[in-house]
Structures are given as C-alpha cells and as structure tokens.
Structure 1
Amino acid sequence: MMSLSGHSVYPHDVLTVLLCLLTVSQAYVNVALNKPAYQQNPEPGNDTYDASNAVDGRKSDLSVSGGQCASSYPRQTATWWVNLTTIHSIHHITIYFRTDNEPWGPSNENTNFTLGFSVYVSNTTDRLQGTLCYKDDNFTLDTIPAVFTTTCPVHGQYVIYYNERLRGVTYPDGYSNHVDISLCEVEVYGCSATGYFGSNCSVPCPDVNCQYCHIETGTCQGCKPGYKGHRCEITCEEGTYGTGCKETCGQCRDVNQCSINNGTCLAGCYAGFKGDLCEIACDRGTYGYDCKETCGHCRDRYQCSIVNGLCRTGCGAGYQGDLCKT
C-alpha cells in the first residue's frame, strides 16, 4: 500500500494516518464550503461542470456527469480558485480528484491530466503573489492519490489550484499534453475567525496587536493595521498608517490626528482638501477648509488657490482685491 508521498507503508500505519487526519479535520472548519469559486476555460452555460461544484460539500459521485465536480476544457494551463471572502488562517487543504468512479491509477485517464499540479494560498487571485503550498514533482501515474492532503499553515483569502503544460518544456513520462480542471471537492480547513490559533481555534494570538498568527504555534504572521515589528510592538510613525505602516496619510489639518489604523483625519483636512482621508483636492471654484468657500471673480478660474482663494492671475473685469470679490 502506498502513502501520499508514494512510499510503502503498512496497513496499521495507514489507519494511524487516517485517524490523525480525521481528528485534525474535525478540529478545524472547512472555510471553503459554499464560497465563490472560479475556473479557467469553463464550458459556457453548463452548470454540470461549474467551478462551484468543487466547494459544495458533495463528493459521493466523482464522475464528470454527476454534477458534483468542476471540469474544464483541456488547455495549456488550468486555474481554479475559491474565494474565502476574507483572510483566514489555514491549516491544511484536501483535494478530491475526479475519478469518474473508476479505479485510480495508470488505467484512469484523469491521472495524467493531474500530474504536476500546484496549490497556492494568496490574498489576491494572483497565485504568484501568494504562498506555494505544494508543487507536485514526485508523483507518477502509480503513486498519485485520488484524495490529496497538504498542510499549509499560512493565512490568505484565495486557495488556488494550478497546472500547466507549456510549449517547449519537456515533462516526465505519463504527463498529458494538456491540462484541465478535474476537481470534485476542495476542502480548506482552518479557523473561521482571525486572531486565534490552536487545534480548535480558541487561543488568542499571543501578541496583542497581531491579526494573523501561525495556526499551530501562535507566531505572528501579520500585524493589525497601524502596527509593525516581529511582535507588532511598534506603532506607525507620524504620517503613516495601515498594514505594515506602508500607507501615507493625506493632507490632514493635524498630522498627529491621522488614524494609524485607516488613515482617517480625525481633526479634519488641511485647507484645500476634503474626504475622510483628505486626499481629494477642492473642486474647481471652491477653496478653504472642507472646500466650503467659493472663489471670487478670478480672471482665470483655474488660477484660484484651493488653499486661500487668491486669484493668481488677477481679477476679472469689474472686480478688485486679492479674492476678487469686491
């Protein structure tokens, strides 16, 4: 009997592994269940093969026509992802491949389309901006499992399945010429709420300002907006805010009153700007604090200062004064 990695194991070892996986799966929640899903090269107008079938919780019929699997046209690349809708702390991912209810292995025509697959977790739909959880470069037609599980203790919003057969690349024996989506269920187990870790997601992250921590160890993996540092112990410097303090405050009336969390100017905007973040210049013909003042009769209305209303090129005929209102 073969393990997930293709090495020989004894039946009692298999039982131990299955019991461990079952225990872990029960401790964490399948956060992918019924979440929005997408697949590349779908068959238009046919829900039988829709991407959402791979996160509907059904896996009793693993055939292409059973209405429980996601399937796409064979092409050079194949991409499928599920949107968890918010960032989650993830522990492991389990994939049920489409077997067409036939014995899995060299005799099953789906295995060669599956070889070489990758699994990513990302905060966007771009897999390359995320974390590579698994890349198959060891499985063969004989060893690839019909149900695959990989541990990936990271946080992210999108779980992405990807495979490719690129021109000019030589692939191992047994690989197909093209790839497709043949997924009957993708289960993503982790915590349903951020800021917690542990086998049942009940222990708060040790660092007070930590938003995402390692689901097993509690080590901080991402600070709350407004904080940075290995333990999120450093507050954003004056004039900066947000995740990792990478955002710059707008034209706040008092830069000390720029929220380190979301950049809101708590004391209002400097003259000439408006909006919660004070990043929007006054509309043409207005100026001052909150853009509440109206420009005078400037010779050129484009030359009315949004800060103090001065007409830079002078007044129109019949008016005088710095503001051209007399």
Structure 2
Amino acid sequence: MYAVFVCVGVFAFANGYVNIALYKQAYQHNSEAGDTFNASNAVDGRKSNLSVDGGQCAVSYWGKKTATWWVNLYSIHSIHHIAIYFMTNNQPLGPSNLLTKYILGFSVYVSNTTDRLQGTLCYKDDNFTLFTMPAVFTTTCPVHGQYVIYYNERRQGVTNPDDYSKYVFTGLCEVEVYGCPATGYFGSNCSVPCPDVNCQYCHIETGTCQGCKPGYQGHRCELGKAAYVQL
C-alpha cells in the first residue's frame, strides 16, 4: 500500500528536503510544439497559472493512448516524496472540470533509466474518481533513482472505469521531487551520514543501507567483492 497525502498549500513533511527536480532536464512524449507547452515547464518553479495556455504547464498532444513525462535528476538521488500540480485551467477539479478525467489512472515511477519498467512504481492510481481527484497530489516514495517518470495510458482492449477519458495527455504544471541533494546522507535535513561506511545509498528516513559503494557487498556493505566470492 502506498502512502498518499493530498495537500493544499502546506506539506505534511519535514521541510529540510530539497526540491532536486527544479530546473533539471525534462522530456515528454508527443510534446506539443512551442515553449508554451514544453516539458521543462513542469520543473521551472512556476505554478501560479494552471491553465493550458498559461505557459507554466507541460502539455502533450491530445488524442493519444499513452502519456509519458520524466525529469532527469542528473545522478542517483535519495528521494523522500513527490508532489504534482496538475493542470486545472485554474478551476477546482471535479465532475464539472473536463480535465479531471484525463488525469485519472496515472502512475509515478522512480528509475535509474528512462524505462519506467526498470524502476520502482511509487504510485498507481486506482482509487481517485471525478469527485475525489486532487489538484495537488503528493506521495511518499523513499527510494533512490535518477529519473522520476509520470505515465498514464488508455490501452485498447482494457476496460477502464466510466470516469476515465478515452485518451490521455500530460497536463503537468509542476513536479517537485523532494530528497537529498547528495548521496550518502539521510535524515530530515539530509545531514546524517549513512551508518555503514561503505554504503552509497541508504534509506532517507531510517538510514538502512540500500546500495553499496562499488567494490563492496553484503548486508552492511562490509565485504569487498573478493571476500564475498570466497564465502
């Protein structure tokens, strides 16, 4: 089960984490032409105008069966939570907002490549409806990765709920990825070194090692490769 938090204005998380997606390279499949709809709009820090023509949202072509957007964090980072500001045309989401049905069913992944299937599924929407879909969605995902990927689909032959649209597009006005700017640290302020000296990536909340430095293996990265083979 995934922890999901719907937030308006204030996050229920410690504020020591940094938005490591800000101004990073972004991409979207089937991108609309022109800077008005560019993928980078979703990581430029602007979220005051959530309309399709406001120039602050990443928008892909309409009439497609899949929608993919990702941000490249440039290196593997320890992530705590991800916040998404959806395009709403500056109106509340709900049954009267035609954009709502295009968001339903979305997924969020963290991966070390641009292939979402090689990464970790942080969240898959199978609960929201036209009445409950939030304009700002936040989910915890305490994993490590270089790419945060947004994905949605309407596959032929798959029966979706009646609330869902026939097609999908991105419509992302801001994607914020909060975590530690440097590897090897954890804690709410990213100031505590990983307890195991040879650990390269540790759980951002508990410090439990999740990945060893090159040349080391074992539960606490206490074994060099040669020693590991001899056991």
Q: How does 1:234-245 map to 2 (within 5 A)?
A: 234-237=223-226
Contact 1:5 / 1:139 at 8 angstroms: preserved in 2?
A: no
Paired with 1:103 and 1:47, the residues of 2 have a C-alpha distance of: 25
Structure 1 SS opposite 2:36? helix
Paired with 1:57 and 1:87, the residues of 2 have a C-alpha distance of: 21
- For 2:203, the aligned partner's letter is H
Structure 2 gap ranges (5+): none
How much does 1:43 deviate?
A: 1.6
Contact 1:5 / 1:143 at 8 angstroms: preserved in 2?
A: no
Which of 37, 48, 53 is equivalent to 1:65?
A: 53
For each residue in 1:226-280, what CA deviation from the matched residue of structure 2 results, as whole angstroms up to 9, or x when unmatched?
1011110110128x9xxxxxxxxxxxxxxxxxxxxxxxxxxxxxxxxxxxxxxxx
Paired with 1:230 and 1:59, the residues of 2 have a C-alpha distance of: 43
**Match in the other structure for 1:306:** none
**Match in the other structure for 1:219:** 208
Q: Which runs of 4+ in 1 moved over 6 A?
A: none
Say whether 1:32 aligns with 2:21: yes
How much does 1:179 deviate?
A: 0.5
Contact 2:71 / 2:149 at 8 angstroms: preserved in 1?
A: yes
**Match in the other structure for 2:121:** 132
Paired with 2:67 and 2:153, the residues of 1 have a C-alpha distance of: 6
Q: Structure 2 length as normaliser, TM-score? A: 0.93
Paired with 1:109 and 1:229, the residues of 2 have a C-alpha distance of: 52
How much does 1:103 deviate?
A: 2.2
For each residue in 1:71-128, what CA deviation from the matched residue of structure 2 results, as whole angstroms up to 9, or x when unmatched?
0112010000000001000000000000011121111111100000000000000000
Say whether 1:95 aligns with 2:84: yes
Structure 2 SS opposite 1:70? coil
Contact 2:85 / 2:137 at 8 angstroms: preserved in 1?
A: yes
**Match in the other structure for 2:197:** 208
**Match in the other structure for 1:165:** 154
Q: Structure 1 length as normaliser, TM-score? A: 0.66
Greater gyration radius: 1
For each residue in 1:49-69, what CA deviation from the matched residue of structure 2 results, as whole angstroms up to 9, or x when unmatched?
000000000000001111100
- For 2:217, the aligned partner's letter is K
**Match in the other structure for 2:72:** 83
Structure 2 SS opposite 1:86? strand
Structure 1 gap ranges (5+): 7-13, 241-326
How much does 1:23 deviate?
A: 4.8
Structure 1 SS opposite 2:40? helix
Paired with 1:231 and 1:117, the residues of 2 have a C-alpha distance of: 36
How many residues matched?
224
Contact 1:69 / 1:184 at 8 angstroms: preserved in 2?
A: yes
How much does 1:22 deviate?
A: 5.1
Paired with 1:233 and 1:48, the residues of 2 have a C-alpha distance of: 51
Q: How does 1:1-326 map to 2 (within 5 A)?
A: 21=11, 23-24=13-14, 26-44=15-33, 46-74=34-62, 75-237=64-226
Contact 2:50 / 2:56 at 8 angstroms: preserved in 1?
A: yes
CA RMSD of aligned residues (A): 1.7
Contact 1:106 / 1:142 at 8 angstroms: preserved in 2?
A: yes
- For 1:91, the aligned partner's letter is H
Structure 1 SS opposite 2:42? helix
Structure 1 SS opposite 2:76? strand
Contact 2:5 / 2:138 at 8 angstroms: preserved in 1?
A: no
**Match in the other structure for 1:247:** none
For CA contacts below 8 A with separation 6 or more, give which structure has more relative contact order: 2
